[in-house]
Amino acid sequence: MVAVHTYFRRKGTKVEAHRRSHSPSKDRLDFKDVQSSIARNLEGAKVPPRFQSQYGKTYSREEALEASKKITGTMWRNKDGN
Contact by Cβ (8 Å): 72, 37: no
Contact by Cβ (8 Å): 39, 68: yes
CA distances from 55 to 7, 19, 30, 32, 68 (A): 51, 50, 26, 21, 12
pTM beyond 0.75: no
Q: Which of helix, strand or coil describes residue 9?
A: strand
Q: pLDDT tens for residues 31-79?
A: 888 899 999 999 999 999 999 999 999 999 999 999 999 999 998 888 7
